[in-house]
Chains A and B, each alone.
Chain A
Amino acid sequence: MKIAIASGKGGTGKTTVAVNFALAIGDAQLFDCDVEEPNCNLFLGLDLEKQEDVSIAVPEINTEKCSLCGSCVEFCHYNAIAKLPRSVMIFPKLCHGCGGCHIVCPENAISEIKRPIGMIEKGVDPGSGISFFQGTLGIGEPMATPVIRRLQAHMDENKVAVVDSPPGTACPVIATVGEMDYCVLVTEPTPFGLNDLILAVNVVRQLEVPLGVIINRHGSGDDSVEEYCYSENIPILMKIPYDREIAVLYSEGIPFVQRMPQWKEKFRSLYEKICFISSENTSQYSCSGVRNQW
């Protein structure tokens, strides 16, 4: 069971939900797919061990073989190769690593070299038993998706994977959420929260991933998010109140399930609820290891 915790708007509480959710489930895998600024470990404080470097294959041109025919330049959708009157120039940061230039070159002048763009790290939380995986995109690197894909390769089909998604609705979010069994959208009850929630709902629906909403800082804004969810038939899975104790724990980097045991129970029933919804949708998921209250 792979569950993405996403949102349209940044700062709504994705990481808070993802970390507390994974800790409450226990024996789960937690993935920080927000590789441009991973922050789950601020709340876990684990010693991380590097698992692998993430690279993409970028072209290298053998200038002796190159006939300046321009086939590679014409092929490259991302304008990563340019032809000049007497040479060809490559822009590795524009390259998406598809390898097409290598295939279309009639002179066999293009080889591929690996360009490191990020890395994957892992840590285990002895208290809860969760395994934590974090992707980090190198500074100045524009493409997050290859790091996210490598991160997803560490998912264990036999475990629950809780995935902290990047914010927004662009490529990194698609790469993260597209592979999931369920998507939780965390929002706040404000007009801004609602606006970005609608954008995110439209994206997740196109990806055909079932979704539900968690309203964070509930009680701080208005009812527009709830009204929207009712009208769109979107389940509101949980409401996290605008609560001083939760805010204080957050500011100290402490996951609130560790100090507020009632929330551990709430997150465990959230998991059961998601399993129930998924089984209704596909009848292929079962919740193992968690007492069924539904």
Chain B
Amino acid sequence: MKICVTAKGSDLDASVDPHFGRCNNFLVVDSETMEFQSIGNDQGSASGGAGVQAAQQVIGKGINVLITGSVGPNAFSLLESENIEMKMVSGGSVQEAIEAYRSGSLESINTPNSAGKSGK
């Protein structure tokens, strides 16, 4: 299973970045082998639609689960349409987030939980 965790750094010890659209890095982790790939968020400072770009980027990596702090309405509709499971985490490292996911202690994100910025 491929899990994407939004992160401030580029390895499993990095802190989780709570903002999906505007995080620094996406860490795509294979939950069986714990092999991972760090992908820079090239649209993190876009004036609008950062969440739309971020969602396309991680969907393109074929992920099954997204672990982050908050997801805006546009990104949410993209991720939901691809049946990606969204889980909420408030802090800690990427490694800890994945362990928490495995133990089933992460809450699901069932509706957009960030107002996002719908573009100006």
Contact = CB atoms under 8 A, between A and B. Distances in A.
Contact of A93 (B46, B53, B56, B118): B118
Interface in A127-164: 142-143
Contacts of B78: 82, 84, 89
Interface in B37-52: 43, 46-50, 52
Interface residues of A, number: 17
A94 B49 contact: yes
Contacts of A93: 118-119
Given A84-B82, A87-B81, A142 B49 contact: no
A79 B53 contact: yes
Given A94-B52, A143-B119, A79 B43 contact: yes
Contact of A82 (B47, B52, B118): B52
Interface residues of B, number: 19
Nearest to A94: B119
A79 B52 contact: yes
A80 to B, nearest CB: 6
Interface in B50-74: 50, 52-53, 55-56, 59, 74
Nearest to A142: B118
B56 to A, nearest CB: 5
| Closest CB pairs A-B (n = 6) | A79-B49, A94-B119, A79-B52, A93-B118, A142-B118, A94-B49
Interface of B: 43, 46-50, 52-53, 55-56, 59, 74, 77-78, 81-82, 118-120
